[in-house]
Structure 1
Amino acid sequence: MRDTSLRLGAPPRSAARLCVFVHGRAQTPEEMGEHVIARLPVGDTHFVLPRSPREAWYDARAIDPASDATLAQLEEALDAIDAAIASAAADGAPSDRPVLAGFSQGACLVLEYAMRRDRALGALVALTGCRVGPPTDTSPRRRLDGLPVYLSGSDADPWIPASAAFAAAADLAVCGARLRAESFPGRAHEVSDAEIDVFAEILAQTGATP
């Protein structure tokens, strides 16, 4: 399969860290490059921005009950994250503990990746995200002991209700993540300068090795 991801930042072999950034519904890697990555002090980070083959990574809203069709699309999207990491690793990027980040539907995907896939991560940045499907006692979870996680949201966001972000924060805390969660009153469906600052701070603190 042809790699359609967007690569930005430091060359893979000279990068200190790898960050996979996942776009949201009806968005493109190029838009995320312009509206998010370009606002970061890119420095020595190699960014890979995978591209959804459809309008969205999965058709349902994250807060809808997770149907079999949604779960199948979710697994396909998580496979795309795995493929992005593997592609960057093949080019020489440090991939032992990648940083996973995303906005909106992309933020939901990186949260699900952390809970469902058994891979060591350097950090997790979920800009306006929640779990896919309302969390239940049987929702997939795994230990995230000490993993730096930043989760943001807003009480005015039309796609990710604050209650869903709070539920995701509770899940992350139970799993042992080193969590920083913020809700921005009145913030539209966008990434604020304050969120960019935290994202940059996390990247600076995350190296190629633990």
Structure 2
Amino acid sequence: MNHAHKVVYGGKLLKDASKVLIMVHGRGASAESILSLAPHLDISDFALVAPQATNNTWYPYSFMAPESENQPWLSSALILLDSVVVDLRQKGFADKDIYFLGFSQGACLTLEFVAQHAAAFGGVIAFTGGVIGEQIVENKYQGDFNGTPVFISTGDPDPHVPVQRVLDTEKILKKLHADVQVKIYPGRPHTITQDEIDIAKEFVLK
């Protein structure tokens, strides 16, 4: 299955905004649901772009399943994100004015995408996520973040995202010259807490 090119917009109109936040929803959720996080982030000056997964799922199995099992959904999801970024660049947004946010499956997809296309983006927020694959294949991650702030959070334990994968993702992003901050919350449920939102606002979106 391939994803239809469906994108939902919020915040400022693209033509009136100087910055844009790409918001990537989790498994079983929707573009509208991730956009509902916006009022908590103090991003009234951003345009918001939320791609929608077909059938509300970016890929069918765990992000740590063999990558072949999640195809062609995974490749299609990455292509959709790439098309969103290409469109924003064509509309005149510089990389430094393009930001990313994802939760859970959306955070994993976001991290996988930016690690494969590292550039001096405005910032990346990954609420509970890590790069995708049964094994990490470092040579597929390339580019230069040039100090892009990246915030990654997770619970310990989390039912979907092992802490070790978060730490391995941190190492990959740092090798690509990202400024990475990781926060691990003992016993935190699979959700987004106010503390995570506060860190994201201060470290990435300020």
Same fold (TM over 0.5): yes
Matching of residues 26-41 of structure 1 within 5 Å? 26-34=28-36, 36-41=37-42
Aligned residue number for residue 131 of structure 2: 131
2:71 paired with 1:60:
no
Unpaired runs of 5+ residues, structure 2, are: none
- Paired with 2:177 and 2:87, the residues of 1 have a C-alpha distance of 29
Cα distance change of structure 1 residues 135 and 145 upon mapping to structure 2, 3 Å threshold: farther
Q: What are the residue-to-residue correspondences of 1:183-194 with 2, within 5 Å? A: 183-194=184-195
Aligned partner letter, 1:133? G
- What is the total number of aligned residue pairs between the two structures? 202
Rounded to whole Å, the distance in 1 between the matches of 2:204 and 2:15 is 17
Residue ranges of structure 1 left out of the alignment (5+ in a row): 206-210
Contact 2:121 2:145 in 1 (8 A): no
User: Are 2:108 and 2:129, in contact at CA under 8 Å, matched by a contact in 1?
Assistant: yes
Is 1:18 aligned with 2:17? no
Aligned to 2:109: 109
8 Å contact from structure 1 (residues 5, 49) kept in 2: yes
Contact preservation (8 Å) 1:154, 1:185 = yes
Shift of 1:117: 2.6
What CA RMSD, in Å, does the superposition of the two structures yield over aligned residues?
A: 2.3
Q: Within 5 Å, which residues of 2 pair with 1:61-210? A: 61-67=62-68, 69-88=69-88, 92=91, 94-97=93-96, 98-117=98-117, 119-136=119-136, 138-142=138-142, 143-205=144-206
- 1:9 and 1:46 in contact (8 A); partners too: yes
Q: CA deviation at 1:139?
A: 5.0
Q: CA deviation at 1:74?
A: 1.9
Could you tell me whether the CA contact under 8 Å between 2:51 and 2:81 is conserved in 1? yes
Name which structure has the greater RCO, CA cutoff 8 Å, separation 6+: 1
Could you say what secondary structure the match of 1:48 adopts? strand
Question: Normalising to structure 1: TM-score of the pair?
Answer: 0.85
CA contact (8 A) 1:18 1:95 kept: no
Contact 2:119–2:146 (Cα < 8 Å) also in 1? no
Aligned mates of 2:50, 2:199 — CA distance in 1:
19
Report if aligned partners of 1:147, 1:177 keep a CA contact under 8 Å in 2.
yes
Instruction: Determine the C-alpha separation between the residues in 1 that align with 2:181 and 2:118.
Output: 22
8 Å CA contact 1:131–1:164 kept in 2: the answer is yes
Q: Is the 8 A contact 1:108 1:129 kept in 2?
A: yes
How far apart in 1 are the matches of 2:135 and 2:153?
A: 18
Query: 1:175 Cα shift?
Result: 2.5
Query: What displacement does 1:188 show?
Result: 1.0
- For 1:148-181, what per-residue CA distance to the aligned partner results, in whole angstroms no more than 9, with x for missing partners? 1111111132111222212211222232211101
* Contact 2:118-2:176 within 8 A present in 1 as well: no
Q: CA deviation at 1:73?
A: 2.2
Deviations 1:8-32 (A, max 9, x none): 1122122121110101111111111
Classify 1:138/1:84 alpha carbon distance in 2 versus 1 (closer, same or farther; 3 Å).
closer
Matched with 2:6 is 4
Counterpart secondary structure, 1:189: coil
How many percent identity over aligned positions? 27
Bigger drift between 138-147 and 48-57 goes to 138-147
